[in-house]
């Protein structure tokens, strides 16, 4: 009987040792996966919140991070947590389940927001380019008008104007930028509506897009007006020179006629003809 009791105790000891080992392994696996998931979430949150003047850098970094997402990071954690739930009491089960739900929600939120974030970065990159181009164009036009007011060489100003706005594909390039800007704005709206993420930021993007479209339209009108002015002034100068030439010719004719009236050697009839020119 003593032997049977010993074997029973030994069997129970082995059982509990095995159970303890399994439970310890489950806890260890759960915490390792928890740490891995939390690290990924921290890095992902940093990636979608990072600010930098170089949008190309942010876009490249964003793509590199989210291009390949290892779903096993989340799924392995959830699986490990569910296995752990079976061996814990109800109080611990609630705590573990809450932790699982919280981290899964964070993961899903980031996964849903990441594509929108990329679109926003692409929108803001184009927006920055458009604003810079339009501001530079406006400065150029204002400078040309100042040069014109100071009566500088109109031909040189017109050459400079055409080189800036006609010869370097300024208009086609800006049209491409404006189409890209509108495309990204539309994609952001569509993506957010599909994920029920419509926000005040999206309204701001719509307003910014409208504002830049108006800015571009006004700039096109100003470019055309300045070009017409630069083209008109040389034409007016040409007309003035032609009229001045006519006046010079008329004055020369008058001078010759006056000289002829003082010539006493010409016949009377010819003298009368000269005098009649002044009547």
Same structural domain, 220 and 85: yes
Same structural domain, 252 and 163: no
End-to-end Cα, the chain, rounded Å = 160
Which pTM was predicted?
0.74
Same structural domain, 47 and 96: yes
Same structural domain, 202 and 253: no
Q: Higher model confidence: residue 193 or residue 4?
A: 193
* Inter-residue contact 188 to 126 (CB < 8 Å): no
Q: Higher model confidence: residue 47 or residue 15?
A: 47
Radius of gyration (C-alpha) of the chain in whole angstroms = 42
Same structural domain, 133 and 263: no
Q: What is the mean pLDDT of the chain?
A: 83
* Inter-residue contact 112 to 195 (CB < 8 Å): yes
| E strands, the chain, in order | none
CA atoms of 120 and 131, how far apart (whole Å): 16
Q: What stretch of H or E contains 197?
A: none
Token look-up 């009839």 returns: 269
Same structural domain, 218 and 259: no
Same structural domain, 237 and 251: no
In this prediction, residue 37 carries a pLDDT of: 97
- Per-residue model confidence as pLDDT tens digits over 180-202: 999 999 999 888 876 655 556 66
Neighbours of 218 (CB within 10 A): 12
Residue range 67-79: average pLDDT?
A: 95
Assign residue 139 the CATH number of its domain: 1.20.58
Instruction: Please give the backbone phi and psi of residue 61, each rounded to the nearest 5 degrees, phi first.
Output: -65, -40
Q: Higher model confidence: residue 245 or residue 215?
A: 215
User: How many domains are contained in the chain?
Assistant: 2
Same structural domain, 9 and 75: yes
Q: Which two tokens stand for residue 18?
A: 């095995």
Supply the range of the domain harboring residue 267: 245-276
Burial of 185 (0-12, 13-18, 19+ CB in 10 A): buried
Same structural domain, 133 and 252: no
């Amino acid at each position: 009987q003593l032997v049977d009791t010993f074997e029973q105790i030994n069997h129970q000891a082995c059982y509990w040792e095995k159970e303890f080992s399994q439970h310890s392994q489950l806890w260890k696996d759960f915490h390792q996966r928890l740490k891995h998931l939390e690290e990924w979430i921290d890095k992902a949150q940093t990636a979608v919140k990072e600010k930098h003047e170089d949008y190309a850098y942010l876009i490249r970094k964003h793509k590199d991070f989210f291009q390949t997402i290892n779903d096993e990071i989340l799924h392995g954690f959830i699986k490990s947590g569910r296995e752990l739930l079976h061996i814990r009491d109800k109080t611990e089960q609630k705590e573990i389940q809450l932790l699982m739900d919280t981290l899964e929600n964070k993961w899903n939120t980031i996964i849903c927001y990441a594509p929108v974030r990329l679109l926003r970065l692409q929108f803001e990159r184009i927006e920055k380019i458009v604003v810079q181009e339009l501001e530079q164009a406006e400065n150029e036009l204002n400078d040309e008008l100042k040069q014109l007011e100071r009566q500088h060489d109109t031909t040189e100003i017109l050459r400079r104007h055409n080189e800036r706005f006609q010869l370097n594909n300024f208009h086609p390039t800006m049209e491409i930028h404006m189409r890209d800007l509108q495309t990204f704005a539309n994609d952001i709206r569509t993506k957010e509506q599909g994920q029920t993420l419509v926000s005040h930021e999206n309204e701001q993007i719509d307003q910014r897009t409208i504002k830049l479209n108006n800015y571009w339209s006004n700039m096109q009108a100003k470019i055309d007006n300045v070009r017409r002015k630069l083209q008109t002034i040389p034409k007016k100068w040409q007309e003035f020179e032609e009229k001045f030439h006519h006046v010079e010719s008329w004055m020369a004719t008058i001078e010759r006629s006056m000289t002829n009236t003082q010539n006493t050697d010409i016949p009377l009839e010819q003298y009368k003809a000269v005098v009649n020119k002044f009547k």
